[in-house]
Amino acid sequence: MQHTQRERLGSTPVFSPDRDLFFSSEYKTVSGKGISQTITTPAIYGEQRQSAFQQKIQQAFADEKSKGVENPILMGSIPFDVSEPSCLYIPESVEVTEHNAAMPEPNGILAREPLQILAKRSEPDESLFKHAVAEAVKKFQRTELEKAVLSRVLNLELSDAISADDVLSRLIKQNPTGFHFAIPQQDQSVLLGASPELLIRQQGTSILSNPLAGSAKRQGNTDADRQVSDALLKSVKDRYEHRLVIEEIAQQLTPYCRELDVPTGPSLISTPTMWHLSTRIEGQLNGLGDEQGKPSNYNVLQLACLLHPTPAVCGFPFTLSRDAIKELEGYERGMFTGMVGWCDSQGNGEWAVTIRCGKVRENSVRLFAGAGIVDASCPQAEWAETEAKLGTMLNAFGLGEKGAA
């Protein structure tokens, strides 16, 4: 099949079950059908950081251009551990729209009998997770480690096969401002979610990164919800956790930018289930190009790999936090806290942090959640934070509180 690309300014994207790849934001919606090329090269390969990976990407784009595709698009996901295989595709056909539009009502899981949980298991369980948090706090006292992000996976076996399309549609309806994605994986599962966190977006020389760090659970009562958000914005612990992320991202981007605007303090953003501390970092890249879309000297995937993993999903300093995760977490994250998105052959694109997500295969589900641990962290509070973060995906399955581990 000929690889084609269609761009429709201001039109409404049509979401169809035969779409193989999907990513949407308030910026663009990108839908891919069919697979022209698959790229599994790790984002860091051997001793030469990114070189083999970027060469593979550029060769794939060149191959598509030789078929007559003017500006090929790559979509997919990259794992937390970038030494592991990537899961990237160039679709046979791509449809791009200029904004995230409303999606149709799901027609599968909502029409059937409610899904029931036949079995569930947290990895690690509550006691082991809390022990890991306590051990991380001890490390802050005797090492130079300042932050470590610890996570868990909730494994569910449900009463019926799951429609990834219907779950995605529900995620979009429930979280309209998120970064929505559905990416097939090499193990025949589908990675899907509604991330609130933008790793980086590039259009010409204009870039935007919107890291999140510091979270609190939304409350059903308006007054209580306001109190929680106010407390988060004033929290010394959460602002410290957030500052570590912002300083690291700004340090990484500065050499590539002729302008970089980093706000002096965080603001608040919310999802239906969580409040987050948020900072929008905007800049103009060095070199050629302009904001109207002409290519710059850099591409968005290079910059995304430069930033990933940020202290928001790994910790600080990087090596110490990565080692702490390997020691304390007890399972392989895979794509969770990696990055998911798209880029074109001109360098433009958008990559989100792979959080508020899960993997679906038949009637099995793996849901992921994490929490940033710093010196002031409390094991019980961090466990509760992961429970709250799981709410986004549990709600999309119609499970709500039933899914809590």
* Residues classed as catalytic: 147, 197
Rounded Cα distance between 359 and 152, Å, is: 14
The alpha-carbon radius of gyration of the chain (Å, integer) is 20
From the number of C-beta atoms within 10 Å of its C-beta (0-12, 13-18, 19+), residue 141 rates as: exposed
- Name the β-bridge partners of 32: 21, 94
Distant-in-sequence, close-in-space partners of 400: CB < 8 Å, separation ≥ 6 = 391, 394
Rounded Cα distance between 86 and 230, Å, is: 40
From the number of C-beta atoms within 10 Å of its C-beta (0-12, 13-18, 19+), residue 41 rates as: middle
Rounded Cα distance between 172 and 100, Å, is: 9
Rounded Cα distance between 366 and 378, Å, is: 26
Q: Which DSSP string do the residues of 108-164 spell out, in sequence order?
A: STTTSSPP-EEEEEEES-HHHHHHHHHHHHHHHHHSS--EEEEEEEEEEEESS---H
- Strands 349-353 and 357-361, sheet pairing: unpaired
Cis peptide bond upstream of 13, omega within 30: no
Hey, CA dihedral for 370, 372, 377, 381, is it positive or negative? Answer: negative
Distant-in-sequence, close-in-space partners of 85: CB < 8 Å, separation ≥ 6 = 40, 41, 42, 79, 186
Residue at 321: amino acid letter: S
Rounded Cα distance between 6 and 216, Å, is: 40
Cis peptide bond upstream of 104, omega within 30: no
Q: What is the DSSP letter of 402?
A: G
